[in-house]
Amino acid sequence: MSKLTEETVKNKVADRVLSMRSSAVRDLFAAANRDDIISLAGGMPDVSLLPAEAVQKAAEAAYDTNRKEALQYGGTPGRPETAKVFSMIMETGGVPGVDPADILITTGAQEALDLLGKTFINPGDVILCEGPTYLGALQAFAAYQPEIICIPFDEDGMKMDLLEEELQKHGKGGVKFLYTIPNFQNPGGVTLSLERRKRLLELSEEYDFMVLEDDPYGRLRYEGEPITPLKALFDQVIYLGTISKTFAPGLRTGWIAAPSAVIEKVNLMKQGTDLCGSTFDQVIVEHYFTDTPWEETLAKFVDTYAERKDAMLAALEEFMPEDVTWTHPTGGFFVWLTAPENVDLVALLPQALEQGVIYTPGNGFFPDGETGKNCARLAFCFESPENLRAAIERMAKVIEDSRA
């Protein structure tokens, strides 16, 4: 065996690895750990908002009451007790009646994305998603070499006329699945209207494609009434859930709720991936969602994030040049900002860092890595209202200075 240098490894890795880009922006992010930099970049929930006592109670109960099971391998689909908890969470979130047997527990929704890619995508398959969409979904799917086509959105979510146009090109059965984040989309912050949800499901029947509904943010609504989930409108939808934004991402626990034929095949793929997810984490999750007032805690998250969202929107209004636009989320973590085409927010990132602010440039959320350089995802979830105001003021200055 020869020495495994960068060059020799490059000659040996699978084609799927060669087709994946690494992002230059990551290096800049690594430099962004300075105390004087305000970050609008990450999508991390503020776990300092969690009541320490409740978390400790759940973790201790896992060890004291369920130690033997918690430290042992579990079944590949996950603990039935945890699946019951997820069925309950779905019910309180507007999807009643999901049979816990139709739930497979995953290592976060991220593993669910990978497993669904592994189960369904052949190289060259056409899959559709919002454009821009969640970077982690693009990474998970890209490893299975599909053709990923993005459908633009407006404040009411994915545009159904453009979706239909795309579907017509591929014909019935020509698209394997459509991936959507209908609530407070990442990175767009927009929400798919009820009318469009219904239209999307009609189109899924007419053109015979599967619908993947990824819903990490649905419970983080700051204004207005919840909109019926796709899964509640049509039980054949493949639903991805997670406790990352309602409890703690460090526990790496999510799930897929889907018809049993899907669960069966995904389960087969998961066996090869990790045999089973973390049983210990699942037991903690069970205790947290059954023994602690999690809905009260969630209401506190909502109040805090709502205040931060308002602070960001007010600062954008106050500081951004007139030709810059942004979305107006009613929940979730993100605002999507669009500057004029000639403003390159990738190129401006070093200047932004110099000013003490970092954001995520928009091109990472498109499969070609090129579209969206004049856009950025701004996360309001992690910083205080004062910091958010200062960050937007700095970012506006960077944009203005670039045109001086």
Ligand X SMILES: Cc1ncc(COP(=O)(O)O)c(C=O)c1O
User: Cβ 240 to ligand X, closest distance in Å?
Assistant: 7
Q: Does 330 interact with ligand X (rule: CB under 6 A)?
A: no
Q: Does 214 interact with ligand X (rule: CB under 6 A)?
A: yes
Q: Does 360 interact with ligand X (rule: CB under 6 A)?
A: no
User: Cβ 7 to ligand X, closest distance in Å?
Assistant: 33
Q: Provide the Cα torsion 41, 211, 88, 100; round to 10°.
A: -120
User: Cβ 354 to ligand X, closest distance in Å?
Assistant: 28
User: Cβ 51 to ligand X, closest distance in Å?
Assistant: 20
User: Cβ 227 to ligand X, closest distance in Å?
Assistant: 17
User: Cβ 88 to ligand X, closest distance in Å?
Assistant: 18
Distances (CA, A) of 330 to 155, 188, 226, 232, 239: 10, 11, 10, 21, 22
24 contacts: CB under 8 Å, gap ≥ 6? none
Q: Identify the residue among 66, 183, 242, 363 touching ligand X (CB under 6 A).
A: 242
β-bridge partners, 95 = none
Determine the Cα–Cα distance for residues 376 and 378; give it in Å rounded to an integer: 6
Q: Identify the residue among 77, 132, 254, 277 touching ligand X (CB under 6 A).
A: 254
Listed ranges 92-100, 152-160, 242-250, 371-379: which one lies at the site for ligand X (CB under 6 A): 242-250
Cβ neighbours, 10 Å, residue 6: 6
Cβ-contact 349, 28 below 8 angstroms: yes
Our CB check for ligand X shows the closer of 211 and 399 to be 211
Burial (CB < 10 A; 0-12, 13-18, 19+), residue 14, is: exposed
Our CB check for ligand X shows the closer of 288 and 319 to be 288
Our CB check for ligand X shows the closer of 210 and 399 to be 210
Cβ neighbours, 10 Å, residue 293: 10
Query: Applying CB under 6 A, what is the total number of residues that bind ligand X?
Result: 14
Q: Does 186 interact with ligand X (rule: CB under 6 A)?
A: yes
Q: Does 249 interact with ligand X (rule: CB under 6 A)?
A: yes
Our CB check for ligand X shows the closer of 186 and 204 to be 186
β-bridge partners, 357 = 38
Minimal CB distance to ligand X: which residue? 108
Core vs surface per residue 313-330: b (16+ CB within 10 A) or e: bebbeebbeeebebbebb
User: Cβ 180 to ligand X, closest distance in Å?
Assistant: 10
Our CB check for ligand X shows the closer of 137 and 348 to be 137
Q: Does 255 interact with ligand X (rule: CB under 6 A)?
A: no
Q: Which of residues 94-153 bind ligand X (CB under 6 A)?
A: 108-110, 134, 136
Q: How far apart are the first and last CA of the chain?
A: 57
Helix, strand, coil % in the chain, rounded to nearest 5 = 50, 15, 35
Cβ neighbours, 10 Å, residue 26: 9
Tokens of 71: 């430290």
User: Cβ 320 to ligand X, closest distance in Å?
Assistant: 24
User: x/- contact string, 35-74, with ligand X (CB under 6 A)?
Assistant: --------x-------------------------------
Which of 164, 170, 179, 38 has its CA nearest to residue 114?
179
Distances (CA, A) of 393 to 69, 349, 357, 398: 52, 15, 9, 9
User: Cβ 110 to ligand X, closest distance in Å?
Assistant: 3
User: x/- contact string, 367-386, with ligand X (CB under 6 A)?
Assistant: --------------------
Determine the Cα–Cα distance for residues 361 and 382; give it in Å rounded to an integer: 18
Our CB check for ligand X shows the closer of 51 and 136 to be 136
User: Cβ 158 to ligand X, closest distance in Å?
Assistant: 14
Q: Does 244 interact with ligand X (rule: CB under 6 A)?
A: yes
Our CB check for ligand X shows the closer of 42 and 51 to be 42
Q: Does 181 interact with ligand X (rule: CB under 6 A)?
A: yes
Determine the Cα–Cα distance for residues 279 and 72; give it in Å rounded to an integer: 7
Binding site for ligand X (CB under 6 A): 43, 108-110, 134, 136, 181, 186, 214, 216, 242, 244, 249, 254
